[in-house]
Amino acid sequence: MAEEWINIGISIIVPNEKLEGITTLLQPYADELGWELSSTSPEKEAKSQILIAPSSGRISPEELNERINKIAGVSFGLLKDLAYMGDREKALKNYMQGFVLTVARHPKTKKEILFIGHTMGFLWFNYPLELRMKLEKENKELALSLFFKQTAEEQLREYFQKKKPEEHDARIKETLEKIYGFKL
């Protein structure tokens, strides 16, 4: 079995009073993917999160490549059915895609880990940049197929060009250039 290193899920925030009903409505979507349905209801919060995800919370690049159309289709179906009451045109117009760069510090080693994240409607997935770079070296075709026909360097360059500069951007760019040899 291929290594599972892509964190993935379909996440929906709902009012607490609708949690049970919407959870019931979402079960067929989870069943279609063969994933688990769970929810969290933080105390003192008015909203809950419903998550549809693999039991491990992760998927391998190979499995994601094989199933991306089905997974994205389920996510789009949820957006269309829940947010736009079945109006496909409105859902298509508002099917937002996003890109996020996150820096986390490993709790034991204190090593910084850079994560790249993608969102498509309610679907999100993220992974360590280091593992993406490894995949690009080992199987560039698969990596390009999975990650929107761009290398990590191309996506990160575009990300920094489009966003408003923030205080810590220079440090992150410097780290990316130093560790990975990127030209951002």
Instruction: Indicate the DSSP class of residue 16.
Output: G
Work out the burial of residue 121: count CB atoms within 10 Å of its CB; fewer than 13 is exposed, 13-18 middle, 19 or more buried: buried
CB distance 50 to 57 below 8 Å: no
Q: Is 104 within a domain?
A: yes
* This model's pTM is above 0.85: yes
Q: Is 169 within a domain?
A: no
Q: What domain range is 77 assigned to?
A: 6-149
CB distance 114 to 103 below 8 Å: yes
End-to-end CA distance of the chain: 35
Q: Is 91 within a domain?
A: yes
Q: Is 31 within a domain?
A: yes
Per-residue pLDDT at 112: 83
Per-residue pLDDT at 109: 87
Instruction: Indicate the DSSP class of residue 95.
Output: -
Kindly list the averaged pLDDT for each block of 10 residues, start to end, along the chain of length 184: 92 91 93 95 87 97 95 90 81 81 85 90 94 96 92 94 85 89 90
Q: Is 85 within a domain?
A: yes
Total domain count, the chain: 1
Q: What are phi and psi of 104, to 5 degrees?
A: -120, 155
Q: Is 164 within a domain?
A: no
User: What's the chain's Rg over C-alpha atoms?
Assistant: 18
Extract long-range pairs of 176-184: CB within 8 Å, 24+ residues apart. 176/114, 176/129, 180/129, 180/133, 180/152, 180/153, 182/152, 182/153, 182/156, 182/157, 183/153, 183/157, 184/153, 184/156, 184/157, 184/160
Q: Is 173 within a domain?
A: no
- Residue 60: count other Cβ atoms within 10 Å of its Cβ: 14
- Partners of 106 in the beta sheet? none
Q: Is 154 within a domain?
A: no
